[in-house]
């Protein structure tokens, strides 16, 4: 077993523009294969990284300042992780290594959004059926928040992100800067991911179907859980901190693992932001649940902990088991050993940002999250019982607000993500599954429960729990076009739990 807390926490470098195109900053990012030390006692591991870095470099952009990014693929011709060619879009006839970059949570026109079929291969030698343009533009007209960019290639996303293709993208604005939150070295992004390794340091990703199934092989699996936790690309790192307030921008960048974070000294997190930016007021939470792709912006106050080591723990039950505190129950360690270098002048204002409640809508939809068996006997998760290749069924009108009732008729919590938009969670309500399965009628069995206090901000990913109706309210815009919505458990997303949708004029 790998020793915990031996490596220092890496901080991703900030990327700088390589130039300007008519005053708009222009960035060039190259996806490359590289070998990286992920733990003191592991030989260098083959990873795929943006600019050869895993995680990729961090973007820091200002609100209302658009940027151009040229995403380039210099990856090898063959994948080093097991591709299931029975998965739609990953057939033998397709090039094996395909990439396309999506800015998760970005309010982006569809031509720059990274549609799964807008993929391209090394040097753009081949491109997918929906490829439109090489140069992407991010308008950045949205409020300050923590986004992330990651690969989104059809049928391959789980493997490309697992290989290392993910990074942070932070939007800053003047309103937030005025709040005097912890900044500079006291403002740290944390990308949390689980991985497994072969003895020789290679990344391990299973290639067998779940027993008793025998075929196909390689096979997509229901969900991936690794046995080690990495933060910013290091296994179980530690960081030396001062006895003061820190801001941590936490991203769950795992394929399928959920986390419930807490601090071993019992201190709470003061959550200031969700997926899409600041909450109205800071919310004090003793523990914090994050599904894949969800983000939490938190303040942790170490001022009374001088000399103490604090472990960031996880106790979210996975596959019916509480995580072992010795392994996946630990995430990283904060050592409050640095003396104060300066007085902590940061503050946590009682009011952070206005979050006007959405109340009016023009249209409502009821959409099932359900399951089927494929011809091999494997589970396929579906959105409203439809395959990716079925005709487009969700066509909200530009400028209209809709309520989506997500009816989860499966056994899993699905983190549902929509591209382009931000939304609010209205409530969750249990329904009678027997009646639903026999008669297709939705009969609630309890009251509508409003979201937790720290979910009452703008979101782009929502946890839809089994046996519940999760209601979200979504203003569609500001761009028309072709986008996707999907479950962010990457194994589900790759295996049919993703659908195109169109914002129509």
Interface with ligand C2O (CB under 6 A) = 102, 104, 150, 152, 293, 417, 419, 484, 486, 488
Does residue 182 contact residue 299 with C-beta atoms inside 8 Å? yes
Does residue 224 contact residue 193 with C-beta atoms inside 8 Å? no
Q: Interface with Cu ion includes 489 (CB under 5 A)?
A: yes
* From 18-26, 102-110, 320-328, 340-348, span contacting Cu ion (CB under 5 A): 102-110
Residue 268 CA to residue 263 CA, distance in Å, equals 7
Nearest to 11 by CA among 176, 243, 234: 234
- The b-or-e profile of 149-158 (16+ CB within 10 A means b, else e) is bbbbbbbbbb
Q: Which does 195 bind (CB under 5 to 8 A by kind): Cu ion, ligand C2O, none?
A: none
Least distance in angstroms from the C-beta of 492 to ligand C2O: 12
Q: Which of 104, 150, 247, 428 binds Cu ion (CB under 5 A)?
A: 104
Count of positions (residues) in the chain: 505
Q: Interface with Cu ion includes 419 (CB under 5 A)?
A: yes
Toward ligand C2O, which CB reaches closer, 238 or 417? Answer: 417
β partners of residue 248: 188, 298
Toward ligand C2O, which CB reaches closer, 57 or 500? Answer: 500
Q: Which does 231 bind (CB under 5 to 8 A by kind): ligand C2O, Cu ion, none?
A: none
Helix, strand counts (H, E) of the chain: 4, 31
Q: Which does 486 bind (CB under 5 to 8 A by kind): Cu ion, ligand C2O, none?
A: ligand C2O
Radius of gyration over alpha carbons of the chain, in Å? 22
Toward ligand C2O, which CB reaches closer, 158 or 195? Answer: 158
Q: Which of 4, 195, 378, 492 binds Cu ion (CB under 5 A)?
A: 492
Q: Which does 499 bind (CB under 5 to 8 A by kind): Cu ion, ligand C2O, none?
A: none
Toward ligand C2O, which CB reaches closer, 160 or 330? Answer: 160
Q: Interface with Cu ion includes 487 (CB under 5 A)?
A: yes
Least distance in angstroms from the C-beta of 113 to ligand C2O: 9
Report the residue number whose CB is nearest to ligand C2O.
104
Toward Cu ion, which CB reaches closer, 301 or 402? Answer: 402
* From 32-40, 185-193, 397-405, 482-490, span contacting Cu ion (CB under 5 A): 482-490
Place of tokens 């979504």: 474
Does residue 306 contact residue 275 with C-beta atoms inside 8 Å? no
Whole-Å CA distances, 497 to 59, 87, 428: 29, 12, 21
Residue 334 CA to residue 368 CA, distance in Å, equals 42
Q: Interface with Cu ion includes 245 (CB under 5 A)?
A: no
Toward ligand C2O, which CB reaches closer, 275 or 402? Answer: 275
Q: Which two three-digit tokens encode residue 445?
A: 């069995």
Query: What phi and psi, each to the nearest 5 degrees, are found at residue 461?
Result: -140, 130
Toward ligand C2O, which CB reaches closer, 182 or 253? Answer: 253
Toward ligand C2O, which CB reaches closer, 59 or 246? Answer: 59
Query: What phi and psi, each to the nearest 5 degrees, are found at residue 355?
Result: -125, 85
Residue 62 CA to residue 141 CA, distance in Å, equals 9
β partners of residue 295: 251
Count of residues binding Cu ion (CB under 5 A)? 6
Least distance in angstroms from the C-beta of 501 to ligand C2O: 12
Toward ligand C2O, which CB reaches closer, 246 or 423? Answer: 423
Least distance in angstroms from the C-beta of 136 to Cu ion: 14
Q: Which does 293 bind (CB under 5 to 8 A by kind): Cu ion, ligand C2O, none?
A: ligand C2O
Q: Which does 414 bind (CB under 5 to 8 A by kind): Cu ion, ligand C2O, none?
A: Cu ion
Toward Cu ion, which CB reaches closer, 234 or 492? Answer: 492
3-state secondary structure 433-456: HHHHHHHCCCCECCCCECCCHHHC
Q: Interface with Cu ion includes 414 (CB under 5 A)?
A: yes
**CA dihedral for 198, 201, 202, 203, sign (positive or negative):** positive
- The b-or-e profile of 428-438 (16+ CB within 10 A means b, else e) is bbbbeeeebee
Q: Interface with Cu ion includes 459 (CB under 5 A)?
A: no
Residue 99 CA to residue 57 CA, distance in Å, equals 18
β partners of residue 71: 29
Query: What phi and psi, each to the nearest 5 degrees, are found at residue 157?
Result: -55, -45
Q: Which does 378 bind (CB under 5 to 8 A by kind): Cu ion, ligand C2O, none?
A: none
Least distance in angstroms from the C-beta of 152 to ligand C2O: 6
Which residues here bind Cu ion, judged by CB under 5 A? 104, 414, 419, 487, 489, 492
């Amino acid at each position: 077993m790998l020793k915990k807390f031996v490596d220092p926490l890496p901080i991703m470098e900030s990327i700088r523009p390589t130039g300007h195109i008519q005053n708009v900053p222009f960035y060039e990012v190259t996806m490359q294969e590289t070998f990286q030390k992920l733990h003191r006692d592991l030989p260098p591991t083959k990873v795929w990284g943006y600019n050869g870095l895993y995680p990729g470099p961090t973007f820091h952009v200002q609100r209302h300042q658009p940027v151009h990014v040229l995403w380039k693929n210099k990856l090898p011709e063959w994948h080093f992780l097991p591709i299931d060619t029975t998965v739609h879009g990953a057939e033998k006839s397709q090039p094996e290594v395909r990439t396309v970059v999506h800015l998760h949570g970005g309010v982006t026109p569809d031509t720059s959004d990274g549609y799964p079929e807008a993929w391209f291969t090394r040097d753009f030698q081949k491109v997918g059926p929906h490829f439109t343009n090489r140069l992407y533009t991010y308008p950045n007209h949205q409020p300050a928040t923590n986004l992330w960019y990651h690969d989104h290639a059809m049928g391959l996303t789980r493997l490309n992100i697992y290989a290392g293709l993910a990074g942070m993208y932070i939007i800053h604005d003047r309103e937030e800067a005025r709040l005097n939150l912890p900044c500079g070295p006291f403002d740290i992004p944390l990308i949390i991911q689980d991985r497994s390794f072969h003895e020789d340091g290679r990344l391990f990703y299973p290639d067998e179907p779940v027993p008793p199934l025998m075929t196909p092989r390689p096979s997509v699996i229901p969900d991936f859980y690794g046995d080690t936790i990495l933060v910013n690309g290091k296994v179980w790192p530690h960081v030396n901190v001062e006895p003061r307030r820190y801001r941590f921008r936490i991203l769950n960048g795992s394929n399928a693992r959920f986390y419930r974070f807490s601090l071993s000294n019992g201190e709470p997190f003061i959550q200031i932001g969700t997926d899409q930016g600041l909450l109205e007021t800071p919310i004090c939470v003793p523990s914090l649940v994050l599904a894949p792709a969800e983000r939490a912006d938190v303040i942790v106050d170490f001022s009374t902990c001088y000399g103490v080591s604090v472990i960031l723990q996880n106790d979210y039950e996975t596959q019916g088991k509480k995580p072992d505190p010795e392994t996946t129950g630990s995430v990283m360690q904060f050592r409050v050993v640095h003396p104060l270098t300066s007085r902590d002048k940061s503050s946590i204002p009682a009011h952070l940002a206005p979050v006007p409640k959405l109340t009016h809508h023009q249209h409502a939809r009821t959409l099932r999250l359900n399951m089927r068996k494929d011809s091999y006997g494997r589970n396929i998760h579906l959105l409203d019982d439809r395959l990716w290749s079925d005709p487009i069924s969700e066509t909200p009108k530009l400028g209209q607000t809709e309520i989506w009732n997500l009816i989860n008729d499966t056994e899993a919590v699905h983190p549902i993500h929509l591209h382009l938009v931000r939304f609010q969670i209205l409530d969750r309500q249990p329904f009678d599954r027997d009646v639903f399965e026999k008669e297709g009628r939705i009969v609630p069995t309890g009251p509508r429960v409003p979201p937790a206090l720290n979910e009452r901000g703008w979101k782009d990913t929502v946890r839809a729990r089994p046996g519940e109706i999760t209601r979200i309210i979504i203003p569609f815009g500001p761009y028309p076009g072709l986008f996707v919505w999907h479950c962010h458990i990457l194994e589900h997303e790759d295996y049919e739990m993703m659908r195109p949708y169109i914002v129509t004029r």
